[in-house]
Amino acid sequence: MHLLRGTGRGARETGACGNAVRVSGVVGTQAGDGPCPELQGNQAGFTLIELLVAMALVALLMTMIYEGLRSGQRAAETGQAFIDRTNRVRITHEFLRGQISRLMPLPYKQDNTNGKLFIFEGDQERIRFVGPMPGYLGFGGAYVQELELIRDGGARSLVYRYWLLNGFDEKDIDTAEPPVLLLEGIRDASFRFKGINAEGKISDWRSDWEDSQLTPLVVELKMEMTRESRMEWPILEVVMMVDGGSTRGFNAGFFPSG
């Protein structure tokens, strides 16, 4: 805003900031030598140091937020992995108990030289028997089933195989077909068995089942998992639902002699 002092040719005009000049016939202004105090006050702002400090605080805050979110994500992933491992052990444990306990005293193989039947085979690393299959795996009828501990690199794995009993022939087994993986990350494991001894009493644990024409009374699977697997296997002891001595007399053919 300009202020006019006087009139006519001798008019004197004073600017908001600067020195007035008198020019014959023309009114004008001349800027002052120093900065304008009013403008200098209106242009005040942040210094470079203040901006750098503000940017550093914002970066620190964003880093803290990111680390918090990342920690929460890692905790969720760890919890989910623990749940998955626990479920895998539980499902395998229940599956084995269900299949072994429902063992059926049916022969799946016969030695043609002496007529010996094979109803159950077992040692430290493998068992084979006949039993029904779950509805989601089988198509009805009895199946020859096999559980085996195999070497898998530096550890071991528990695998499962099955074949339809009707028409089963051990020589026709396709070894190229991969088995069903039940559990991996096993450091050490073994099967053990209990049966009826010659005195009619329950025997001690044994690592090999000698009489393939009889079914054991109890099957045990003990496993020790590797540290990397981060799993714990509870000892599995399965009591048979059939009489372990009920198959005596199956000494010729696939049916007891009349």
Distance CA 230, CA 34 (A): 79
Given a cut of 90, whether residue 246 has pLDDT beyond it is no
Q: What DSSP character marks residue 8?
A: G
pLDDT of residue 34: 54
Is 133:144 a contact under the CB 8 Å cutoff?
no
For residue 239, pLDDT beyond 70: yes
Contact 102, 219 (CB under 8 A): no
Residue 169: φ, ψ to 5°: -140, 120
pLDDT of the residue at 108: 95
Residue pair 91/137 in contact by the 8 Å Cβ criterion: no
Among the residue ranges 109-123, 129-143, 155-169, 198-212, the one predicted with the least confidence is 129-143
- Phi-psi category of residue 230: left, alpha or beta, with phi > 0 → left and psi -120 to 50 → alpha: left
| Whether the predicted pLDDT of 67 surpasses 60 | yes
Instruction: Give me the sign of the Cα torsion angle 39, 42, 47, 48.
Output: negative
- Mean per-residue pLDDT of the chain: 80
Q: Where are the domains positioned within the chain?
A: 3-42, 45-258
pTM over 0.75: no
